[in-house]
Structure 1
Amino acid sequence: MVKGRKEEAEEEEEEGKRAVLTPPLALEGGFAAEHRPPNVLQRVLSLFRNVRPGSDLTHFQLPPLFNVPKSQLQCYGEGVYCIGEDYLSKCVRGKSSLERFASVVAWSISTTRPAIFGLAPFNPVLGETHHVSRANLNVLLEQVSHHPPVSALHATDEKENLELIWWHNPVPRFHGTSVEAVVNGKRQLRLLSFGENYEMDSPKLVIRILPAPGVDWVGTVKIQCKDSGLEAELRYYRSHSFFGFGGNSRSVKGKIFHSKSLKTIYEIEGQWDRIISLKDVHSGEVRVLYDAKTAISKLKTPIVEDPKGLWSTESAVVWAEVSRAILNKDWEKAWKAKGTIEERERKLRSERESKGEVWVPKHFSVSRTKESEWECWPLEQSVPPAPVIVPP
């Protein structure tokens, strides 16, 4: 029986409904803040009442009330494909290695996105994927390990001739009045036309519960390009304050320097949610390196362009029922749907163990050099266009 156009259109519409895509994390307030539970501090305190200081929170299960309706894979992906001003393409257009390096520093800062106190994304299930395209940039993520959680990312842009390869392994620990998540792993940005490979790491996330609740990215980020002999150090910090009042949060201070001579070329200073300046130490000239208002505000929500192309492992499909229930504030349904996903994963893991099977990622090769050190490499040379796109 041959299907008519109307039937095919209806099927495509139903396929599209399988996925739930929500607005990206914005600079201030916005979608995530709207879904923060009431009396959030009291609720968070009760959540950690029986957790011992020093505990590893990797296996900690959050009630849906504390979940923003999207997966951690989607949050990683948004840092790459949801952008107001295209800082990634600027990296390719630099006329010198120094100009390109400064652009890479600005792009690295643009991947830092606000987190909301009292809300966290879903922990991705093993084999979960997230596949999105923005113009010529195609981005693919896969959850390559669940215990410990390890996420891998591969992105390619054939027009700009660039490639991104990431792997992230967050390790959250409870410290009595705060939660600190160290993000192990590496990020690589390859500018293939210039034969330049940039390596960088991530700041850590600190969730302060007392005396004043809040979330900060802190720590030192190092960026290095061995091909050009340039390095950068960026220190993310929160200024000292009295009981959470006063002091500038989201501050960044750093420098760009020659690897061999350690001679500083540029000084970097500002706030990653506002303006960050670049000062030439030789001439004293100061210019804007990064403007958060143009980079990570008024971001567009991805849409499903090809419903039939959606994989069953797509984040927006895996968590659709839970996300939909959270959006409707149907907490009982959200609890049930989340529990169903977690129980299914436990059952699959138990079946693999009973058969002596080892799960193998579909899109990445994975090796473990040490207990806390992983390496993930894409199996394909380029990422194909995705069924989910960021509208122009």
Structure 2
Amino acid sequence: MFKGQSEDDIEILNENTKSMLMQFMGQLKIGMDLTKIPIPCDFLEPRSLLEKLTDFNTHAHLLTTAMDDDDPIQRMVHLVRWYLSGWHVKPKGVKKPYNPVLGEVFRCNYELRENGLMTCIGEQVSHHPPKSAIYAECKQKELLLEGWYYPRSKFLGNSAASITEGNIKITFGSRGNEVYTATWPSVYARGVIFGKLIMEMAGKTKIECKKTNMLAEIEFKSKPFFGGEYNVVSAKIKHKKKTIYQIRGKWNEKLYIKGKDSDKNSEELFFDVRSAEVVPKHVPPMEVQKDNESRKLWDNLTKAIKQNDVQLAAIEKDKVETEQRNVKKEREQQGQVFTPKLFKAGPEDFWTFVGFE
């Protein structure tokens, strides 16, 4: 095991899975777009990407804590804590969530105790290229969260990359509509040909609030070929371009914070995955979900994966994909163009939530 790895990071493949992976890799060329290549069911996480995007609210109480702080610098500190808390929820090894079908919807809510409910909803607004739009609100706290997620998957040799475009917009209504914008990191599956299979996040992201002149510069660090550790992240919180705080650690374990001019011994624990409060998530029961809602849509595939029945999983996955091809063909024959029900396209790929179904 490499330094910085945990057992949950690494995928140990059996012979059948190795053979399937090599057959899959034989189809690929460096630089190839993977969004149109079927992923073997062995490497699927049993849920839709739309549901995975709501993991950001696993510690949603950190958002309301940020809103309640009267100090704009501390509001950004709390917001960075929330942002960095959203990445550790993942399955063991290297798994990819289902690609949502066009028009697919996922909805849930999170209990925020005395702060009421945070309601979340997402819709797949485009299939080629894939684009997901998400929205969350807590009316009691006048809190809005809007997101646009545009992954571009590419084969890079010994890695498969999901290069992410889009952003997250957080609005604190009770702070005079104070707006924060954040970007997404990219995700890499390393060791797809040789070495251990492991999922890694890498790249520079930022959170910015122009109203308060606050900026957080965040770097998810890729492990060097020799030495180094996995899952390392660092951040600088700046006010009017001056660094106020520095953060370091591992996004899947512990993070530490210190003032810019403080020595390392003055570091304080910033976030601990193992002891952090988890906000309960509630998804509507299957019997009240519509046919285009994620859990109902993918139910048979999910059951097959959880039963480790790879052959049945492949059959169920093909059923969904075939149905979607038929829907697309019928729409084209009728001269219709798909229009999202919950979101409306705006300038620069900005998607505005227009209302619940």
Q: TM-score, normalised by structure 1?
A: 0.80
What's the secondary structure of 1:159's corresponding residue?
A: helix
Give the corresponding residue for 1:270.
249
Shift, 1:124, TM fit: 0.6
Number of the residue aligned with 2:290: 311
Number of the residue aligned with 2:238: 257
Whether 1:119 and 2:103 are equivalent positions in the alignment is no
Partner of 1:321: 300
> Which string of whole-angstrom CA distances, capped at 9 and with x for unpartnered residues, describes residues 160-203 of structure 1?
22110001010010011111111110101111101211100011
Q: How far apart are residue 41 of structure 1 and its match?
A: 4.9
2:129 aligned with 1:166, yes or no? no
| SS of 2:14 mapped into structure 1 | coil
- CA displacement at 1:347 relative to structure 2: 1.3
Is residue 288 of structure 1 aligned with residue 269 of structure 2?
A: yes
Residue type of the alignment partner of 1:108: Y
Match of 1:11 in 2: none
Amino acid at match of 2:72: S
Of residues 43, 58, 70, the one that matches 2:35 is 58
Checking the alignment, whether the CA contact within 8 Å between 2:21 and 2:40 is kept in structure 1 is no
- The structure, 1 or 2, with the larger RCO (C-alpha pairs under 8 Å, 6+ apart) is 1
Q: Which of 19, 22, 45 is equivalent to 1:45?
A: 22
Checking the alignment, whether the CA contact within 8 Å between 1:137 and 1:157 is kept in structure 2 is yes
Distance verdict in 2 for CA 1:96–1:167, change over 3 Å: same
d(CA) in 2 for partners of 1:126, 1:318: 12
**Contact 2:10–2:197 (8 Å) recurs in 1:** no
1:93 equivalent in alignment to 2:68? yes
CA RMSD in angstroms, aligned pairs only: 2.6
Share of identical aligned residues, percent? 26
Q: Which moved more, 1:102-111 or 1:349-358?
A: 349-358
Distance 1:362 1:138, change over 3 A: same
Following superposition, the deviation at residue 268 of structure 1 comes to 1.4
CA distance in 2, matches of 1:96, 1:300: 28
Q: Deviation digits for residues 337-372 of structure 1, max 9, x if unmatched?
A: 211110111111122222221100010002464xxx
Stretches of structure 2 that go unaligned for 5 or more consecutive residues are: 112-116
- Whether contact under 8 Å (1:325, 1:334) holds in the other structure is yes
Residues 115/203 of structure 1: CA separation in 2 closer, same or farther (3 Å cut): farther
CA distance in 2, matches of 1:86, 1:325: 34
Instruction: State the TM-score, normalizing by the size of structure 2.
Output: 0.87
8 Å contact kept, 1:116–1:215:
no
Unpaired runs of 5+ residues, structure 1, are: 1-26, 385-392
Supply the AA of the counterpart residue of 1:109: L
In structure 2, how many angstroms separate the alpha carbons of the residues matched to 1:179 and 1:151? 20
Provide, for residues 57-108 of structure 1, a one-character-per-residue CA deviation record: whole Å limited to 9, x for no partner: 011111322212111111111232x34x832222222221111111111111
State the alpha-carbon separation in 2 of the partners of residues 94 and 276 from structure 1.
Answer: 21
Structure 2 equivalent of residue 224 of structure 1: 208
What SS class does the counterpart of residue 60 from structure 1 fall into?
coil
Where does residue 208 of structure 1 map in the other structure?
190
Judging changes above 3 Å, is the alpha-carbon distance between structure 1 residues 248 and 33 closer, same or farther for their aligned structure 2 residues? closer
Q: 1:175 and 1:331 mapped to 2: Cα distance?
A: 26
Determine the structure 1 residue equivalent to 2:114. Answer: none
Map of 1:17 onto structure 2:
none
2:14 and 2:336 map into 1 onto residues whose CA distance is 45
Q: Does 1:184 align with 2:165?
A: yes
Query: How many aligned positions are there?
Result: 341
Q: Which residue of 1 aligns with 2:180?
A: 198
Contact 2:55 2:87 in 1 (8 A): no
Q: Distance in 2 between matches of 1:124 and 1:58?
A: 11
**Aligned partner of residue 308 in structure 2, secondary structure:** coil
